[in-house]
């Protein structure tokens, strides 16, 4: 039985999960989400490394995770993802050389300052022989070094770093069935993960990432919209946002006028989200390799805003559902949905561990 712990540090909270993997079962043994002070991370980038390391140390101790080994995710403007097409090569070394050569054209980070990784996602017959579509990820080395330093500063040992987008696909999408995998008829699916400050839009086919973009929008903008419209102080604006959502029966304690005001503020405040998601999907659709997008799966803290799925469905004119990040775990235990959706990235990172890969 192997144990894997993965962490996702966001602008509002740290999320962590512990999975135990037996011969053919994956069990979730711990999951925790704890708030951290504002300003330690911004748009996925570490702003205050020492304070963050101290928060991480506290978090780890309180959650009582096993050992010190941890898997981490990255997603910010200093990580670039591109999909490139190359003649298919079977020799791993030749392929890497070809990818690195081609990547230099597409990736705006000088090679001596970047860490490059890649994943072949499909093969197809081109005009002059077999070709391969490859997702290339390049990250600023300095940003990765800083992340590693923070985690080591908390007394932990990083044992793997992956793109948050890949982790989300593992958590939220079932593996393609052997029969359907690689079929040109398979539709694409989008994952939209809305946190406190950022939103990730990911388009995948057969659970492979074909496009990803980060949008500078999150629940924080919605709280600010409520604050501005109602004049309530921030803490109260946040509380009333959680209590009302966009639809449904609001929690008790708020009068009908306030609820109507808050919902109006949320509906106006969420417009940029719909606009930017729509733009991202249009960009994906404009690419020569694109497929029709069947539906959108939502996750992240802001997906807990009641009615946001309906709101986005109307705005985008396509099916939108709230995802279940525990869907790939055989024994999910009793994790409340609000913890699971905020820990979706951590869950996906943990699922990638050797023996835990799904």
Ligand X SMILES: Nc1ncnc2c1ncn2[C@@H]1O[C@H](COP(=O)(O)OP(=O)(O)OP(=O)(O)O)[C@@H](O)[C@H]1O
Nearer to ligand X, 116 or 242 (CB): 242
Shortest approach of ligand X to residue 30 CB, angstroms? 17
Shortest approach of ligand X to residue 293 CB, angstroms? 23
Contact positions with Mg ion (CB under 5 A) in 238-257: none
Q: Given the DSSP bridges, would you call strands 129-140 and 79-87 parallel, antiparallel or unpaired? A: antiparallel
Give CA–CA dist 309/321, Å, rounded.
6
Q: What are the start-end ranges of the E strands in the chain?
A: 2-9, 13-21, 26-35, 41-42, 45-46, 69-74, 79-87, 114-126, 129-140, 157-163, 188-194, 199-205, 208-215, 293-299, 320-322
Ramachandran bin of 212, using left for φ above 0, alpha for ψ from -120 to 50, beta for the remaining angles: beta
Partner interacting with residue 13 (select from ligand X, Mg ion, none; CB below 5-8 Å by kind):
ligand X
- Two tokens, residue 122: 């499909």
Asked if 356 interacts with ligand X (CB under 6 A), we say no
Shortest approach of Mg ion to residue 315 CB, angstroms? 22
Asked if 44 interacts with Mg ion (CB under 5 A), we say no
Shortest approach of Mg ion to residue 178 CB, angstroms? 33
Interaction pattern, residues 236-255, with ligand X; x per rule: CB under 6 A: --x--xx--x----------
The one-character DSSP state at 331 is: B
- Two tokens, residue 318: 């396509």
Asked if 305 interacts with ligand X (CB under 6 A), we say yes
Residue from 9, 10, 147, 261 that binds Mg ion (CB under 5 A)? 10
Interaction pattern, residues 258-297, with ligand X; x per rule: CB under 6 A: ----------------------------------------
Alpha-carbon distance values, 58 to 65, 153, 349 (Å)? 11, 12, 21
CA 72 to chain centre: 12
Shortest approach of ligand X to residue 310 CB, angstroms? 14
Interaction pattern, residues 196-225, with ligand X; x per rule: CB under 6 A: xxx-------------------xxx--x--
Taking only Cα atoms into account, the Rg of the chain, rounded to an integer number of angstroms, comes to 21
- Which of 351, 304, 273 has the alpha carbon at shortest distance from 5? 351
Residue from 16, 73, 195, 218 that binds Mg ion (CB under 5 A)? 195
| Binding stretches for ligand X (CB under 6 A) | 10-13, 195-198, 218-220, 223, 238, 241-242, 245, 300-302, 304-305, 342
């Amino acid at each position: 039985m192997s144990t894997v712990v993965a962490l996702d540090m966001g602008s509002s909270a740290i999320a962590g999960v512990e999975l135990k993997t037996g011969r053919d079962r994956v069990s979730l043994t711990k999951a925790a989400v704890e708030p951290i002070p504002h300003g330690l991370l911004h748009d996925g980038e570490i702003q205050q490394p020492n304070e963050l390391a101290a928060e991480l140390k506290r978090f780890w101790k309180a959650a009582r995770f096993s050992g010190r080994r941890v898997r981490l995710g990255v997603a910010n403007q200093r990580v670039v993802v591109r999909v490139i097409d190359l003649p298919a090569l079977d020799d791993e070394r030749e392929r890497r050389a070809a990818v690195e050569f081609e990547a230099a054209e597409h990736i705006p980070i000088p090679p001596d300052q970047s860490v490059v990784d890649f994943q072949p996602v499909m093969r197809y017959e081109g005009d002059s022989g077999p070709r391969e579509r490859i997702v290339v990820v390049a990250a600023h080395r300095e940003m990765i070094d800083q992340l590693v330093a923070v985690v080591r500063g908390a007394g932990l040992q990083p044992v793997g770093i992956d793109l948050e987008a890949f982790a989300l696909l593992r958590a939220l999408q079932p593996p393609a069935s052997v029969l359907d995998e690689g079929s040109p008829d398979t539709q694409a699916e989008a994952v939209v993960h809305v946190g406190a400050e950022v939103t990730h839009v990911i388009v995948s086919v057969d659970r492979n990432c074909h496009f990803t973009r980060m949008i500078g929008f999150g629940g924080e903008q919605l709280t600010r919209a409520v604050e501005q419209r109602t004049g309530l102080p921030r803490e109260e604006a946040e509380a009333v946002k959680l209590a009302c959502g966009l639809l449904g029966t609001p929690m008790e304690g708020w009068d009908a006028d306030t609820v109507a005001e808050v919902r109006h503020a949320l509906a106006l405040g969420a417009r940029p989200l719909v606009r930017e998601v729509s733009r991202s999907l249009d960009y994906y659709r404009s690419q020569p390799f694109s497929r029709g997008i069947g539906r959108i799966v939502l996750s992240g803290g802001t997906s807990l805003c009641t009615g946001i799925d309906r709101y986005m469905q109307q705005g985008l004119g396509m099916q939108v559902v709230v995802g279940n990040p525990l869907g790939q775990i055989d024994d999910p235990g009793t994790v409340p949905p609000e913890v699971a959706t905020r820990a979706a990235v951590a869950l996906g990172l943990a699922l990638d561990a050797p023996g835990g890969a799904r």
